[in-house]
Amino acid sequence: MDRPRPLKKILVIDDEENMRHMLKTMLARYGYEVALAENGAKGLTEIAQNTFDFILCDVKMPKMDGMAFLKKGRDFLHSSTVIMMSAYGSIDMALSAMKLGAYDFISKPFKTEEIRLTIKKAEERERLKKENIELKDRICRIGVNLSFGNMVGRSSAIQTVFSMALKVARFDSTVLITGESGTGKELVAQGIHQESERRNGPIVAVNCASIPESLLESELFGHVKGAFTGAIKDKKGLFEMAEGGTLFLDEIGDVPVLLQPKLLRVLQEGEIRPLGGEKDRSINVRVIAATSKDLNVEIESGNFREDLFYRLNVIPIQLPPLRERSQDISLLCQFFITRFNETLKSKKYFI
């Protein structure tokens, strides 16, 4: 289940009681938490005591108008997006407000939809700014540390992988990691999980090639009591164990053809049905899959479903073998020497 997000907080500053009431009613209907102030001075008191995501502020008001509010509230408005409102609007006034830090200017009278769209546009801008800052910070960390999760590398080939993995980490899209055995596919999956919003949830890994075909369905989806001989009680599958987190399906190319439709349904519907069960269960799991096989060849030979491939291959990441990134060999050697020195509490040697 997705966690409920906290309500966005909006402060409405306007000397007209009817306008305040109308905006509060409308914004509350759209899911915002609304506070009210009848002039700029009251607005200053509010922003000094509380943090608001958005502020709707009239220009012409007694005691303290909107422009004075912008000037005097500068120290408290860094994290708030201010939208000015006025029935006496002009281009010069709008420009003056924006020079003082306002995001937008709306002329009265306005339609309620205009207010909603302006706030939505501001929300999108703030979201993109936040994501851009986070992404730059992560990419900077990669550049400084030459690492992603438990992987290290300075070559352009592996840095491209690190950059892509960071970008996709913040989404819930399915990722398909391909590459030869030993290239670090599980390490990339772990890194994506740790950089994602699911980091506090579990990451469950399974090697599909290591589980007998007769047991794989039960392992993935669980089973109910009496589903087969020896099923003496209900058992959760790996999908349920990964609830709220990430399920890493290694060697996905070895999943039996007869089981692939059930896996496809999970990716399409977000539901599982335990072996022997009669009802579907909703799950909230991100799937990252990996394989050392060429799935296009497997599709042509009839060993892998094409529709499942496209569901898995939403975001592909190809891992290069070490022979194609020889620049990383010395860095990897130093990494393992340091790790073994720490483990063995030995003297530190360098190469």
124 vs 252, which has greater pLDDT? Answer: 252
Flag whether pLDDT at 189 surpasses 70: yes
Name the phi and psi angles at 280, rounded to 5.
Answer: -80, 155
3-class SS of residue 100: coil
The reported pLDDT for the residue numbered 253 is 95
Neighbours of 313 (CB within 10 A): 15
The pTM is what? 0.59
Residue-range domain boundaries for the chain: 9-122, 167-322
pLDDT digits (tens, 9 = 90+) for 5-43: 567 899 999 999 999 999 999 899 888 999 999 999 999
pLDDT of 149-164, one tens digit each? 778 787 888 888 888 8
Which is the CATH superfamily of the domain at 167-322?
A: P-loop containing nucleotide triphosphate hydrolases (3.40.50.300)
DSSP 8-state code for residue 321: P
| Same fold for the pair 9-122 and 167-322 | yes
Query: In which band, very low, low, confident or very high, does the pLDDT at 3 lie, cut at 50, 70 and 90?
Result: very low
* Residue 2 in this model has a pLDDT that exceeds 80: no
H-helix or E-strand containing 55?
Answer: strand 54-58
Q: Are residues 93 and 59 in contact, defined by beta-carbon separation less than 8 angstroms?
A: yes
Half-sphere exposure of 148 (CA within 13 A, CB side): 32
Angle in degrees, 0-180, between the axes of helices 156-169 and 112-145, rounded to the nearest 10: 150
Q: What is the CATH number assigned to the segment(s) 9-122?
A: 3.40.50.2300
Token pair for 24: 């509060």
pLDDT attached to residue 308: 95
Other beta carbons within 10 Å of 178? 20
